Amino acid sequence: MKRPVYTTEILRLAASLNEPRELPRQDGKAELRSPTCGSRITLVVQLDEDRRIEAMSQTVRACAFGQATAALVERHARGRTHNDVAEAMLALSRWLSDEHADEADWPGLVALEPARTRKARHGAILLPFRALLAAIEAAS
């Protein structure tokens, strides 16, 4: 029997995505769209004096995989640096494409396992990481 595309865990994660909110200070902002699926994210980030993520807020228009990933990114971004996020995104990309057996060093990503064989979903899954990196890079 074929496993469902959207598992209960993915749907729960997607539903747990926080509503966008105003940050006390907006250091960087990015608006990205996935060319493969049309998912869109607008993400703002607040950084501390060491350029670690202090807070973030995002508006997400994506499938359940994209929303679930965005929820995981938001949940575990605090305290991370640009390099931490970049390394996690690279590892996630390798895991999705079967180049690497372990998912990225980011809690909860194993829930995205059903998407590994659905390459059309990879763009939506990587988009929250790409948006977070772009927002950090936009911070002055």
- The answer to whether position 2 is within a domain reads no
- The answer to whether position 3 is within a domain reads no
Structure tokens at 91: 């590892």
Percent of the chain with pLDDT over 90: 76
Predicted TM-score (pTM) above 0.95: no
Range of the domain at 89: 8-138
- The answer to whether position 1 is within a domain reads no
Average model confidence (pLDDT) across the chain:
92
102 pLDDT more than 80: no
Q: b/e map of 76-96 (b: 16 or more CB within 10 Å)?
A: bbeebebebbbebbebbbebb
Phi/psi region, residue 32 (left: phi>0; alpha: psi -120 to 50; beta: rest), is: beta
Domain count, the chain: 1
- The answer to whether position 97 is within a domain reads yes
Q: What is the mean pLDDT of residues 16-31?
A: 96
Confidence of residue 1 (pLDDT cuts 50, 70, 90): low
What CATH number does residue 76 fall under?
3.90.1010.10
101 pLDDT more than 80: no
